[in-house]
Structure 1
Amino acid sequence: MRIPFFHLIDMNRYFVLLCFILFINTIFAQEIVNKTLDSLYREDQFYFGVTYNILSNSPDDLSQAGFSSGFHLGFIRDMPINKKRTMALGIGLGYSTNSYNNNLLINNDDFGAFSYTILEDGNTYSKNKFSTHLVEIPLEFRWRTSTASDYNFWRIYTGFKFGYLFSNTTKYEGDLGNIKLNNIDSFNNLQYGLSLSVGYNTWNIYVYYALNPVFTDDVLLNGNNLDINTLKVGLIFYIL
């Protein structure tokens, strides 16, 4: 089976980003080892995540195709709440960009009204997706086995994440021509959900489940509300 060229580009981009994160993490870890041990240490961390984005709670005839990716980065301020500093609260600020390849066509007519239809099997198209860009505020309860001298440790971070969607794009390329819409009102500007990070040292599994729909209440598909929300599954990397 041949892999489309643009998929190879995405895969190479992910590989380069992973190598960069691992390289930076090694440098920071070495610098920290050389510092005087601090009994009042914090796990203040930059983070970078890569996810596969899934549209959940979707109609039966709505499907995804290709790789729907997400990139997430930011900083979380660590605030320990016990003497051993193995438990903490975290609050941060981040940025998230997400794409969703699917068969839902979003279009508008000459009067500016938007329509939402499922592309039939007979339609030929090379691209149909929507993308979002968000500013995010993660709130976390953090448990870890770290000490002032141990930088390889287990962690479980659970939390809640607020996101403000400040930009969106929809793109279609196919038999119907090229359709591109920017910053339409179909998307919920405020998005929020539950997050979980579990892992050891650099490698951590990351899951985010949205608690509210991607689209606003007035977005209808065949007369029904399009109450789709998102599930993001991937890896997250922390850098001290």
Structure 2
Amino acid sequence: MIRFSLILVLFIYSSSLSAQYEVENEGLYSRFRPGIGWFYSGLKPFEEGKLHKYDRLILDVVYNDWYGDKDYFASPPTSIGFNAALMFDVVLTKGNTMSFGWGVGYSHYSNKSNLQFFRDLVNKTTLTSDFPVGLEPKSSKFGANYIEIPLELRFRTKGHSHFKFMIGGKIGYQLNAYSKETNRVDGKNYSTKQYNFADSNPLRYGATVRIGIRNWAIYGAYYFSPLFTDSGSADLTPISMGVSISLF
């Protein structure tokens, strides 16, 4: 009986939600609030004519690669990372066909390329090489975590199920960076990590783009900041591409 009651409540609520959107698409703006920030840009309340706001909590699942010393798309397909961003949608037109997005985000970069990383703490450089043939580990990875500020100029068609195109960029601060190797010895896995790269670049900045429909989009990020700053270090600059979902 309790389960039946919960299902009935959810059905009524979802029907009400759909009806609210139908009313809005007819040009009548309701007071329904489907998420945080529906009435606010982060600075001041919006007019009732600018209540449509989207893409405020965005999650990205991405393939991570890098360029420089390595060719594009040379990283394994298992080099999967993710981003999360909480953003304000600052509406610039009444139909929200154009807006400005800004907020704060978190990013995890993960590249499972078969590279060894060597830290030269004396010369403050970071070098890489391929593992010797026959001595490859079970797995290897370079990872980094960032706090970021994303900025986007957003274009949309009218309506609830709209087409969208967003172009912008983001700047981030590196929380940590590490390399990890996993070897199998006597039937057991043993992992080792290296931190504290002497010339690890604390900043990451680049351009981003999203193209999609309503909640879903294809995402790409092209960074201009290398992972290591010394001219004698490995030349590796990240790129990412994947799929985005906007939860509200």
Is the CA contact (8 Å cut-off) linking 2:104 and 2:147 kept in structure 1?
Answer: yes
Whole-angstrom distance in 2 between the partners of 1:28 and 1:145: 24
Distance 1:32 1:216, change over 3 A: farther
Partner letter of residue 228 of structure 2? F
| Cα 1:122/1:163, change in 2 over 3 Å | same
Which is worse superposed, 197-206 or 117-126?
117-126
Within the alignment, does 1:72 sit opposite 2:72 as a pair? no
Gapped runs of 5+ residues in structure 2? 1-12, 22-29, 32-47
Q: Map 1:142-157 to 2 at 5 A.
A: 142-146=154-158, 150-157=159-166
CA distance in 2, matches of 1:199, 1:208: 15
CA–CA separation in structure 1 for the residues paired with 2:15 and 2:97: 19
Match of 2:221 in 1: 208
SS in 1 for 2:222: strand
Paired residue total:
205
Consecutive unaligned residues in structure 1, runs of 5 or more: 1-26, 221-225
CA distance in 1, matches of 2:238, 2:57: 24
> 1:160-171 maps to which residues of 2 (within 5 A)?
160-171=169-180
TM-score by length of 1: 0.74
Query: Identity, % of aligned pairs?
Result: 26
Please show how residues 14-33 of structure 1 align to structure 2 within 5 Å.
31=17
Contact 2:50 2:94 in 1 (8 A): no
**Larger-gyration structure (1/2):** 2
- Name the counterpart of 1:4: none
Aligned pair partner of 1:234 in 235, 238, 242: 242
Letter in 2 for 1:185: A
Quick check: 1:39 aligned with 2:65?
A: no
Checking the alignment, whether the CA contact within 8 Å between 2:138 and 2:184 is kept in structure 1 is no
Q: Structure 1's 151 and 117: CA in aligned 2 closer, same or farther, altered over 3 A?
A: same
TM-score of the pair, normalised by structure 2? 0.71
Quote the offset at 1:103 in angstroms.
Answer: 2.2
Matching residue of 1:105 = 116
Q: In structure 1, how many angstroms separate the alpha carbons of the residues matched to 2:242 and 2:110?
A: 14
Give CA-to-partner distance per residue, 1:88-118, whole Å, 9 cap, x none: 1111101011211112211458989765332
The more displaced of 42-51 and 93-102 is 42-51
One-letter code aligned to 1:163: G
Over the aligned positions, Cα root-mean-square deviation in angstroms equals 3.1
CA separation in 2, counterparts of 1:154 and 1:138?
Answer: 21
